[in-house]
Structure 1
Amino acid sequence: MTTRANVTTYRTPEAEQRYRDLGLWDDVTLVERVRAHAATRPDAIAIIDSADDRRITYAQLWHDASTFASFLMARGIEPGDGVSVQLPNSYETAVVDLGVLAAGAVLNPLLPNYRAHELRHVLAVSHAKAYVTPHTYRGFDHLAMARDLCASLPEVHTHVVVAPAFETRGEFASESFELREVLASTPRNDAALPALDASAVSELIFTSGTEAAPKAIMHSEQTANVNVLGTLEAMELTEHDVVWMPSPIGHSTGLNCGLRVALHAGLPIVLQDRWDPERAAELIERERCTYTLAATTFLNDLVRTLHASPREVSSMRAFGCGGAPVPPDLVVAAAAVGVTVLRIYGSTEGLIITWNRAGSPLDKRANTDGVAMPDVEIEIRDDTDRVVGRGVEGEIHVRGPEVCVGFFDDPVRMANVFTPDGWLRSGDLGVIDAEGYLTIVGRKKEIIIRGGMNIAPREIEDLLCEMPAVRAAAVVGLPDERLGELVCACVVTDEPLELADIVAFLRNRDLATYKLPQALRVVDSIPMTASGKLRKAVLRDAIVAEMQGSR
């Protein structure tokens, strides 16, 4: 491992130099690209915010983003400082994200449905200096939560709130800044913006592992942008393409495979926040959207809607889909309604690893997760770390210029996940066929993937074990046709417990809504190995068999 600017990376200096010599890493940043688009194509549309159908040009986007960067700098934010952004898919989020990067700060994107339980850990670990939230979002008071968090975390000295236009400054306490007023009152000074280092960490993204505490994954402009260039090449995107993004840009998929792809290439991006498949079909048809990357849930809902109410959506020639199993029949059904699905495999650590191509046969598109992205190396290894041949199942190992810098301040995880020669141990099981197509067949890790969102069972288990009535708990994923998996809590208890009881308890512990169990099983005991590890597969298989037997 090597250390640079207080950041430890598993890559050797020789490996880093090799990527530079090959031209895979350069000095270009997303900020530089947007600034250039604003100068050369100022009237080109950058953002289409579907919430109110605003159409914002690259000139306006850069003006607002650079103004926000000037504000952050005036507040004492320096290059390398963390800024946490918890906003929905909207134009304002693009402004804030780009402004954070323009100030040289590290962008920490967060899902709007995170609550105090997750956020207190994230803000503390990331050493965030500023925190950006909605005022209220989907009925939840983010302003009140942010005030409580900032009061308990003195490092977070600046809170910015994004409020609807009808709200006035008088509604906010003096310790919060309202984004509209920030943009209207801050002197903009592009000349004072710092020179950016494309090799420095620019994103810090938290994602759930099998452990209770989420991983803090670091990406640089170099790792993130080589993924963009690979996407543009693999998907054959041109200046005529239009990106549609329903996946949250508060996480890696929406940010790095949606917003970053569009803004780097100078394309328009249609941002959809509230999921509504009928609205999605309307947007694809109206804007002639051509590219997206979204979880199986989005695809399933969209195909059902188009089957019931057909629209002209044949422009959608690259619907990247992954994050949860993609049924082959769904790929075929999507083609029948005009949507070309290209299954993918990726992760926050490795970004896009494999992807079907437009020229891939339908059989491969329906049944595999694609071939390696440009300049990405993939190996399948057995339990002895030996590379196996084609057609043999094993753990997926990945190496390439798009793989993350590493995990922030987490040397134990770094050592467990990365090999000494720079391979990422994915924890996922796969097989590569004779033509080089990868198929995911399972997971070594226990992650539950619900609607494309990773959920760490142990985090929920630890909270459940705080309930006085619970003597033991295990959380497993159950198959679900729409969401991929549902969260099922299995508890040992001496008292009557209902699902509503544990949901209420977990809500009171500020657990994010999407992590709340949808099923409860009261069991006599939790199966364990001789060494004391939970045998969740046994528990899950028994529940699935029970479900199938009751049909």
Structure 2
Amino acid sequence: MSVVHTPWPDDLAAAYRAKGYWRDEPLTDVITRHKGETAAATAILCGERAFSYTALDRLSDRLAWALQRRGLRAGDTALVQLPNRAEFYVVFFALLKCGAVPVNALNNHGAFELLSYAGQIEPRLAVLWRGHALVEPDPRGERPDSLLGQLGGSVGLNRVLLLDEAADDDCLDGFAWADGAALDAAEDGRPEGAIDAKGVAFFQLSGGSTGTPKLIPRTHNDYLYSVRQSVEVCGLDATCRFLCALPAPHNFTLSSPGALGVFLAGGTVVMAGDPGPATCFPLIERHRVTWAALVPPVLTLWLAEAGHTAADLSSLEVVQVGGAKLSASFAERVPAELGCRLQQVFGMAEGLVNYTRLDDDPWTVFNTQGRPMSPDDEIRILDPSGHPVAPGEAGELWTRGPYTFRGYYKADLHNARVFDAEGFYSSGDLVSRTPEGNLIVCGRSKDQINRGGEKIDAQEVEDVLAGHAQVNFAAVVAMPDALMGERSCAFVLAAPGTKASGLRRFLRERGLADYKMPDKIVFVDSLPKTAVGKIDKQLLRETLKREQPDLNAAPVRSTVTA
């Protein structure tokens, strides 16, 4: 059994292999390739624990072997939600070694997202953290309204493993990785079967653009090439000490070049429980961190604290910033206030990654979001009619290449909208291109809100709001914000007496993630419409930009701001 994905055409696949992009090697190669002295090097620092490459390889072997003995087979799927701890990588590589295909949910995803992922992949296995609020009240899923109860009732899980659970049979800790150095090489602890390097390795998560979370099948070939090329462009080597402060499963922190790139280069990943300076600055000093990956709102916090901290940040060589557009004014402050180089990263979980290069001139580093990393990244910038824009003008970004996927999982109708006949993917980003080939992000063409790097699909929130008995209609749009880039505002048509607090409580009860909660709720008696009868969201956005609602277009009854 295997997870089906949309393949690349034969001619392109042959070309990518001929050029050495695809080598039919498994993604686990980033840790198994280390032999001799490099195998003893430190791969992960997590609190007081240190894991060598040998330990990471053997621990994931042991877990894979144990899962196989409990019935997990190649082609089975798994739902994983773990915090920023070394166990995330042990589980990730163990599942790859089993041939199982995981979805790695972010730790701030709620029941809505987890149940959506589970409904799409029908997992045989769930690996969760007992400390997560969704799991703690009923870790055994005995109540049907608990998360595990809902998962088991809807998709029929075969097994659940919990991190930090006391019962041995359901406990990840029971697989004896508390001490990463105390391992033996027992043959019965190694998984059986070869990894299908041509197949799907795992599902990455889309930012959300169609009302339900979409899953992106990433193959061993395309993802490993993305990691290798990122390492080459960024110049990583074994001296790199990378701070994993953003969520470990995020595409940015996993592969751009992220932890997988650091593993490939033989460096060390330092785990941080959260990205705030109070957590990260002492880790930078203690472990002599050289690289960090941040989103713009976190960078602003670092910059605000850098002049007041007693921590020694002198080891920092590069801070990468991605996930949302970074303003030039903040970009220019990085070298002076953090004492390191800035690298802007504009990438997507669907594939294409752009970097400013470390030897680019200051204007390029501060004002652009970089250029594609692969010679075979194909870029088209098109106007609304599908024609190429004039040089320097903004248009919608379409792309294809050796590591850009060819279709969302089980989403044929949506794929027909976002891919053209030649396999180019519509990213939904509005960009312009400099004469040197660097991209400047100008905004979004899709109905999506980029809240400090977290992508919020407006339709998804609207659909949940529409389930409230007193809500007649809701329109969710982005509003500009100096810190986050964008925040969300919900214009709501509702019965008299409806309260914003009640709507927020309803959204939480439905399991919507906290970051998707509307930052502002505006109750209105009507909503403006376009000539064809659709809600005029552009007018709503303009209303918010003016900071004073247009009462003729959207009469306001009451406004509540978070």
TM-score where L is the length of structure 1: 0.91
Shift of 1:355: 0.9
Q: Partner of 1:222 in structure 2?
A: 221
For 1:121-132, list aligned pairs within 5 A.
121-132=116-127
Q: Over the residues paired in the alignment, what is the CA RMSD in angstroms?
A: 2.5
- Does the 8 Å contact 1:30/1:263 carry over to 2? no
Q: Partner of 1:355 in structure 2?
A: 355
Question: Quick check: 1:74 aligned with 2:69?
Answer: yes
Question: Quick check: 1:157 aligned with 2:158?
Answer: yes
Shift of 1:188: 6.0
Q: 1-side partners of 2:187 and 2:303: how far apart?
A: 46
Letter in 1 for 2:236: L
Q: Partner of 2:12 in structure 1?
A: 15
Q: Partner of 2:378 in structure 1?
A: 377
Q: 2-side partners of 1:45 and 1:286: how far apart?
A: 15
For 1:141-290, list aligned pairs within 5 A.
141=136, 143=139, 144=141, 145-163=146-164, 168-169=166-167, 177-183=170-176, 189=188, 192-257=191-256, 258-290=258-290
Match of 2:106 among 94, 105, 111: 111
- After superposing the two structures, state which structure 1 stretch, 516-525 or 427-436, moved more: 516-525
- After superposing the two structures, state which structure 1 stretch, 393-402 or 530-539, moved more: 530-539
- After superposing the two structures, state which structure 1 stretch, 459-468 or 11-20, moved more: 459-468
1:319 partner SS: strand
For 1:483-522, list aligned pairs within 5 A.
483-522=484-523
Q: 1-side partners of 2:454 and 2:230: how far apart?
A: 22
Q: Partner of 1:481 in structure 2?
A: 482
1:41 partner SS: helix
1:137 partner SS: coil
- Does the 8 Å contact 2:134/2:147 carry over to 1? no
- Does the 8 Å contact 1:472/1:526 carry over to 2? no
- Does the 8 Å contact 1:370/1:437 carry over to 2? yes
1:9 partner SS: coil
Q: 2-side partners of 1:538 and 1:298: how far apart?
A: 31
Q: Partner of 2:325 in structure 1?
A: 325
Question: Quick check: 1:31 aligned with 2:28?
Answer: yes
Q: Partner of 1:390 in structure 2?
A: 391
Task: Go from structure 1 to structure 2 and tell me whether the alpha carbon gap of 1:310 and 1:382 turns closer, same or farther (over 3 Å shift).
Answer: farther
- After superposing the two structures, state which structure 1 stretch, 518-527 or 434-443, moved more: 518-527
2:534 partner SS: coil
Shift of 1:120: 1.5
- Does the 8 Å contact 2:44/2:51 carry over to 1? yes
Shift of 1:289: 2.2
Q: 2-side partners of 1:380 and 1:281: how far apart?
A: 40
Letter in 2 for 1:417: V
Q: 2-side partners of 1:468 and 1:146: how far apart?
A: 24
- What 5-or-longer segments of structure 1 have no aligned partner? 171-175
Task: Go from structure 1 to structure 2 and tell me whether the alpha carbon gap of 1:454 and 1:260 turns closer, same or farther (over 3 Å shift).
Answer: same
Q: 2-side partners of 1:139 and 1:511: how far apart?
A: 12
Shift of 1:10: 5.3
Count of residue pairs brought into register by the alignment? 536
- Does the 8 Å contact 2:458/2:476 carry over to 1? yes
Shift of 1:403: 0.8
- Does the 8 Å contact 2:392/2:434 carry over to 1? yes
Q: 2-side partners of 1:279 and 1:147: how far apart?
A: 31
- Does the 8 Å contact 1:498/1:520 carry over to 2? no
Q: 1-side partners of 2:533 and 2:208: how far apart?
A: 20
Letter in 1 for 2:214: K
Q: 2-side partners of 1:322 and 1:216: how far apart?
A: 21
Q: 1-side partners of 2:336 and 2:503: how far apart?
A: 42
Q: 2-side partners of 1:188 and 1:529: how far apart?
A: 67
Shift of 1:457: 1.1
Q: 2-side partners of 1:467 and 1:416: how far apart?
A: 30
TM-score where L is the length of structure 2: 0.90
- Does the 8 Å contact 2:356/2:369 carry over to 1? yes
Identity of paired residues, percent? 28
Q: 1:294-336 CA deviation, whole Å, 9 max, x = no partner?
A: 2112211111110332654344333221222211111111111
- After superposing the two structures, state which structure 1 stretch, 411-420 or 459-468, moved more: 411-420
- After superposing the two structures, state which structure 1 stretch, 513-522 or 12-21, moved more: 513-522
Q: 2-side partners of 1:106 and 1:256: how far apart?
A: 17
Task: Go from structure 1 to structure 2 and tell me whether the alpha carbon gap of 1:463 and 1:513 turns closer, same or farther (over 3 Å shift).
Answer: same
